[in-house]
Amino acid sequence: MSPKTFAFFLSALIVFPLDQATKHWIVSKLAYAQRIEVIPGLFDLTHVRNPGGAFSFFADAPEEQRLVFFIGTTVLAIGLLIVFYTKLRADETLSATALGVVLGGALGNLTDRIRFGEVVDFLDVHLWGGYTWPTFNVADSAIVTGVVLLILEVFLTGEEATDEPDEPGSATAAHRG
């Protein structure tokens, strides 16, 4: 197994079970809307459900439409992640890891939508002025982390995207050399 493949699958295989285990723990230990104060005024665990997307986008739509939309877009996103992964060069393990982290998060939230018709959220962060960030979960954190890693890699390496992976000895690889 190549380092790229190992990084991709290992990161997804860490994120997905971690997400599902934390959600299982929350569902089994906290009643809906129950809160545990972890760091007073800063961080709580709160069992909530989000039928919509990020920031409750599309939450008020009819359930059937909402599920078709979110399950369909998630399956499409997973397909695109796999396509992006296949286009990585063999040495692009950071990108493979980032894509695997996003994949694990997408699978975690997809699993919730299939099981519950909505996503289990539980991480509550309170900011200045009494503002509370919308409640989120491990999958959401993984997706954001993976995307940030990809963006940082693009800016820090300054590499241009290519349509095809570089092969040793190819004109593109020789040009970069």
The pLDDT, as a whole number, for residue 58 is 78
Catalytic residue from among 19, 44, 121, 166 = 121
Catalytic residue from among 19, 112, 140, 166 = 140
Instruction: Say if 175 falls within a structural domain.
Output: no
Instruction: Say if 166 falls within a structural domain.
Output: no
Cα-based distances in Å from 115 to 43, 91, 140, 161: 27, 37, 17, 37
Average pLDDT, integer, range 22-31 = 98
Average pLDDT, integer, range 100-111 = 98
Count Cβ atoms within 10 A of the Cβ of residue 110 and give its class: 0-12 exposed, 13-18 middle, 19 or more buried: buried
The span from the CA of 14 to the CA of 28, in Å, is 21
Instruction: Say if 91 falls within a structural domain.
Output: yes
The span from the CA of 76 to the CA of 55, in Å, is 21
pLDDT tens across 78-100, in order? 999 999 999 999 999 999 999 99
Instruction: Say if 170 falls within a structural domain.
Output: no
Cα-based distances in Å from 169 to 2, 158, 172, 174, 176: 19, 21, 8, 6, 11
Q: Which of 8, 172, 162 is nearest to 81 (CA)?
A: 8
59: containing domain: 3-159
pLDDT tens across 38-55, in order? 999 999 999 999 998 877
* Model confidence band, residue 159 (pLDDT cutoffs 50, 70, 90): low
As a three-state string, the secondary structure of 47-63 is: EEEECCCHHHCCCCCCH
Q: 155 or 120: which carries more pLDDT confidence?
A: 120
Q: What's the mean per-residue pLDDT of the chain? A: 89
| pLDDT cut 70: percent of the chain above it | 89
Instruction: Say if 172 falls within a structural domain.
Output: no
Instruction: Say if 92 falls within a structural domain.
Output: yes
pTM here? 0.84
Least confident of 20-24, 68-72, 167-171: 167-171
Instruction: Say if 177 falls within a structural domain.
Output: no
* Model confidence band, residue 167 (pLDDT cutoffs 50, 70, 90): low
Count Cβ atoms within 10 A of the Cβ of residue 1 and give its class: 0-12 exposed, 13-18 middle, 19 or more buried: exposed
| pLDDT cut 90: percent of the chain above it | 71
Question: Is 140 considered catalytic here?
Answer: yes
Q: How many CA atoms lie within 13 A of 78 on its CB side?
A: 16
- Domain count of the chain? 1
Q: 21 or 164: which carries more pLDDT confidence?
A: 21
The span from the CA of 4 to the CA of 6, in Å, is 6
The arrangement of strands across the sheet holding 43-50 comes to 35-39, 43-50, 119-125
Instruction: Say if 154 falls within a structural domain.
Output: yes
